[in-house]
Structure 1
Amino acid sequence: MKKLLLIILLSLPAFLYAQENTRGYKVKVGEQAPKLSFSLMDGTVISNKTLKGKVVVLQFTASWCSVCRKEMPHLEQEVWQRFKNENFILIGIDLKEKPQKVKHFITQMQVTYPFAIDTKGKLFESFTLPNAGVTRNIVLDKKGEIIFLSRLYEVEEFKHMVEIIDLALKKS
């Protein structure tokens, strides 16, 4: 037990630094999400207003991204399948690819959560610094406030994100 506590205490500063460091974001935890206006691949229009009252994960991804491919099965099973029947939505947002390629990517990855295509990267750039890389999850609470930002796929950070989602869903 003492070893476990020591490991947790020693890894906490690195985790907190990772959350405080910009990691290519121009937004911060605690801020309201930027203006959102986009359509899912099925034509559903998404905006800040339509997302109010839901905990939201915006997952920026691309078919060519190996880290995205590694993370997506975990998003499907540990996030989407777990929370999809609550006031929750996970939206995969493919960066700058053609619809046919994205459809193939979704089928290949066997994910069932909704997808959008950020054709010109404007939505992505509303959250990130210029030339930032994909494999990002942005978690918003029911009021549209950013409560978690991730970059790349790291198991412990991913578990922490799932805990944050769970806690946010339990808040009224």
Structure 2
Amino acid sequence: MKIKLLLITCLFSITALFASAQTNAAADPNTDRGYIVKTGDIAPADFELVLTDGTKTSLKQLRGKVVILQFTASWCSVCREEMPHLEKEIWQAYKDKGLVLIGVDRDEPLEKVKGFHQVMNISYPLALDPGADIFGRFANKKSGVTRNVVIDRDGKIVYLTRLYDKQEFASMLKAVDALVNNKTASIN
């Protein structure tokens, strides 16, 4: 009987330990979700963004502004779900307040990206990412899109998202608002 009680106690202890570890991993915003960067890192800036209209820019040129890179693709249904929210709740609200939002389309040709931009009825710019080389500076190339990388005015990554989750999006929105309005204490 004592052995049974000991085994049951051990089983509950092990189960509780695993549940605690999973809860802690889910609560940690730096948990690996395919990213190779983490919050607090200086964003890689050794690349050029070529927008669908031919305009070129870079994170170096955008220093001093709050930047969101939204990694996307026309075939991504979750991206399509998130984009209207990015347009309305972030781009339209903050584009005149020092925020730059650029959708970085993963490895699709120019005409397809232009069509995607039009179909989605968004006004923020899309950039081309042939070979997913820009994506690969932030995340493992084998991982999926629908990611937002929020970068502060000094080039530091302050927020990372994966997929479209309403609660995570709301938290990102609060972080963006704090950055744009210089309320750094509200970001974390």
> Structure 1: where are the runs of 5+ without partners?
1-11
What whole-Å deviation, never above 9, does each CA across 1:53-74 have from its counterpart, x for those lacking one?
Answer: 1000000000100000000000
What whole-Å deviation, never above 9, does each CA across 1:109-146 have from its counterpart, x for those lacking one?
Answer: 10000110101110000001230100000000000100
User: What percent of counterpart residues are identical?
Assistant: 47
Given residue 167 of structure 2, which amino acid in structure 1 is its aligned partner?
E
2:167 to 156, 161, 164: 156
Indicate the SS of the match to 1:58: strand
Residue aligning to 1:25 = 35
| TM-score of the aligned structures, taking structure 1 as reference length | 0.88
Whole-Å Cα distance in 1 between the matches of residues 139 and 30 of structure 2?
14
Residue aligning to 1:9 = none
Whole-Å Cα distance in 1 between the matches of residues 120 and 94 of structure 2?
19
Structure with more contact order per residue of length (Cα contacts < 8 Å, sep ≥ 6): 1
Residue aligning to 2:54 = 43
Indicate the SS of the match to 2:134: helix
Whole-Å Cα distance in 2 between the matches of residues 153 and 170 of structure 1?
24
Number of aligned residues = 160
Question: Is the CA contact 2:67–2:150 (under 8 Å) kept in the aligned structure 1?
Answer: yes
C-alpha distance 82-13 of structure 1, shift in aligned 2 (>3 A): farther
Whole-Å Cα distance in 1 between the matches of residues 116 and 59 of structure 2?
27
C-alpha displacement at 1:15, in angstroms?
6.0
Whole-Å Cα distance in 2 between the matches of residues 108 and 45 of structure 1?
23
Matched, 1:100 2:111: yes
Whole-Å Cα distance in 2 between the matches of residues 103 and 163 of structure 1?
30
**Structure with greater Cα Rg:** 2
C-alpha displacement at 1:162, in angstroms?
0.6
Question: Is the CA contact 2:135–2:141 (under 8 Å) kept in the aligned structure 1?
Answer: no
1:121 to 107, 132, 135: 132
Matched, 1:57 2:73: no
What whole-Å deviation, never above 9, does each CA across 1:3-53 have from its counterpart, x for those lacking one?
Answer: xxxxxxxxx967632x12020000000000012322212222222221111
Residue aligning to 1:6 = none
Whole-Å Cα distance in 2 between the matches of residues 167 and 146 of structure 1?
14
| TM-score of the aligned structures, taking structure 2 as reference length | 0.81
1:132-143 matched pairs, under 5 angstroms: 132-143=143-154
Matched, 1:83 2:94: yes
Task: Let me know the Cα RMSD of the aligned residues.
Answer: 1.6
